[in-house]
Amino acid sequence: MNTRKFNGKTSADEVVAKLDLVNTSVIVTGANTGIGFEAAKAFAHAGARVVFACRSAQSGEAAVDMVKQSYPNSQAEFALLDLADVTSIKNFAESLTLEKIDILVCNAGLVTTKYQATRQGQELTVGVCHFGHFLLTKLLMPKLLAATAPRVVMVSSESHRTPGKLDFARFPLSETSFRFMVAYGQAKLANVLMANELQRRFSEQGLTACSLHPGTLITTSIGRDSILMAFLMKLISPFTKTPQQGASTTMVCALGDAQAVAGQYYSDCQPAKMSDEAANPDVAKRLWELSEQWCKTVT
């Protein structure tokens, strides 16, 4: 794949054009809408077996139906996954029928303007975007490593640059310290750090991990729990990327040359510079160890 020709205007469909992904197994979290849906649809169009991992059965099944209407022979399927609930994550991993996972796209995310918590009592934004995805990846690792060249793609954001430092004393935020943009920045920083640490820990076993910024304020359902956020997303939609364009960087990270994307942060389908904090291996190691400890307490 010649990724040099791709840019911020490229669509997900253009990235997969002429690719044959038959015998490739893919999981996309949050695949029922927005860039997650467009990425999952593009994988399916290219022949991959794609699991649409979504917290809503109704919208997840509807997304699969839409893909099959467009591509009747596609191997698209729905599986229930609520990243805000450890039990749901465990059930998803245990019921998965895939023998191997070639590509895991950790796409699901959200931002809430008011404090909310996961089923296990964590601040919701970080709980879903980081801890939920961390546990999911940990449970799926045997099937990832069963693939010849597995890849984990973390959908982050330029918001990973703020905060400039990950304050572990305030991670995740409490109800009294909650600021929604701080929580979102923490979550997106954790996405980049997790990808980097995955690359360091599992590269010798053939796994490639990377992270990306899909585009500025792409109109998705990320603000689904806030009327204000939903209104603002609608308001700015004429000036942003389409979900198809936003999903293109996901596709490049998932399907581009492994050596080119390994441990990298991408934006507009090209390598970009991550923040100094995101690139700090000591911070990534500390976050990994904290996340491992959390997994032990909930499983």
pLDDT in tens, 204-226: 999 999 999 998 755 555 555 55
Average pLDDT over the chain reads: 94
Cα–Cα distance for residue pair 61/54, rounded to 1 Å: 9
| Long-range CB contact pairs, 130-134, < 8 A, 24+ | 130/186, 130/187, 130/190, 130/191, 130/194, 130/291, 131/172, 131/291, 131/294, 132/83, 132/84, 132/89, 132/108, 133/29, 133/83, 133/106, 133/108, 133/191, 133/194, 134/194, 134/291, 134/294, 134/295
| Residues belonging to the active site | 184
- Give the end-to-end CA distance of the chain in Å, rounded to a whole number: 40
Is the predicted pLDDT of residue 80 greater than 90, yes or no?
yes
Q: How far, in whole angstroms, is CA 278 from its chain's centroid?
A: 16
Q: How confident is the model at residue 278 (pLDDT cuts 50, 70, 90)?
A: very high
Cα–Cα distance for residue pair 248/141, rounded to 1 Å: 25
Q: How confident is the model at residue 235 (pLDDT cuts 50, 70, 90)?
A: very low
Q: What percent of the chain shows pLDDT beyond 70? A: 92
Output 248 or 4, whichever has higher pLDDT.
248
Is the predicted pLDDT of residue 233 greater than 70, yes or no?
no
Longest dimension (CA), the chain: 52
Is the predicted pLDDT of residue 60 greater than 70, yes or no?
yes
3-293 CATH fold: Rossmann fold (3.40.50)
- 270, β-bridge pairs: 267
Output 217 or 35, whichever has higher pLDDT.
35
Q: What percent of the chain shows pLDDT beyond 90? A: 89
Q: Kindly report which listed range (45-54, 202-211, 223-232) carries the lowest average pLDDT score.
A: 223-232
Q: What is the rounded average pLDDT of the residues 192-211?
A: 98
Tell me what pLDDT residue 1 has: 83
What six digits make up the tokens of 106?
């950790």
Contacts of 138 by beta carbon, 8 Å cutoff, 6+ apart: 292, 295
pTM of the model: 0.93
Tell me what pLDDT residue 241 has: 86
Tell me what pLDDT residue 234 has: 54
Distances (CA, A) of 222 to 33, 35, 187, 225: 9, 10, 13, 8
Is the predicted pLDDT of residue 134 greater than 50, yes or no?
yes
The residue ranges of every structural domain in the chain are 3-293
Rg (CA), the chain: 17
Do 266 and 210 meet the contact criterion of CB atoms below 8 Å apart?
Answer: yes
Q: Kindly report which listed range (94-108, 184-198, 224-238) carries the lowest average pLDDT score.
A: 224-238
Tell me what pLDDT residue 165 has: 98
